[in-house]
Amino acid sequence: MESLASWEAVLCHDELVKLYRPQELADWCRRASTLLDNDGGERSPESVPRAAKELCAAAEGISLEAAEIDAKCQARNDLLRDIIDSLKEVGFFVADPYFENESQPEGDVVIQARRAGEEVVAKVNLTDEVKSVWSGIEGEHCKTAFHDYVESMASRGANVSPTRADLRERPISIRKGAKDIPRGEEHERGSHQ
């Protein structure tokens, strides 16, 4: 029973468990208190150590799960910083990110950004998946902004692969190093001949 009491003290003061697994913590504490208070009075003497051992294993699982979620949240936060910096780099004003559901810190985080008539809303989950909606100016302008963002993310070591076929490759007319439409002297010579 000593290890059960020590797990109770550890879990009840574990901030990660309180943050990411509050319901599991409450259920575990209720079950542990019942076992500790009764000291197995309603149970057979053989079942008390087994129940205590099961609760200790459950406590360890809850603690490990909370730590894993926290590690994923830290990785997501790094990705969020890269996304925000990339959006700012290509000229967007970025609002503070927020949880889609305040009561689920392990859920999606939403980023909203604006630039002139363009808006980007992105959601980032714990699996490093980013879902974004780019809207605004008609034509290729929004696609150009998206590709600028993709290049900025690549410079930070993040691989962005769009699901839409029309965004998978930068249009030829706006690829870096693409030849521009002839203008100036060459164009004038061709029209005077």
Residue 184: strand, helix, or coil: coil
Position 160 confidence tier, pLDDT thresholds 50, 70, 90: confident
pLDDT tens string 7-50: 888 888 999 999 999 999 999 999 888 887 765 455 565 667 88
pLDDT at 191: 47
> 8-12, 133-137, 176-180 — which is least confidently predicted?
176-180
Structure tokens at 172: 């030829």
pTM over 0.85: no
Which DSSP helix (H) or strand (E) runs through 110?
strand 109-115
Percent of the chain with pLDDT over 70: 73
Where do the structural domains in the chain lie, given as residue ranges? Answer: 2-72, 75-174
Residues 6+ apart with CB under 8 A from 131: 122, 123
Q: For the domain covering 75-174, report its CATH number.
A: 3.30.310
Quickly list DSSP for 101-130: STT-TTS-EEEEEEETTEEEEEEE-TTS-E
Name which of 27-41, 54-68, 78-92, 163-177 the model is least confident about: 163-177
The three-class DSSP label of residue 153 is: helix
pLDDT at 72: 93
If phi > 0 it is left, if psi is from -120 to 50 it is alpha, else beta; for residue 131 that is beta
A 10 A CB-CB count for 113 gives 24
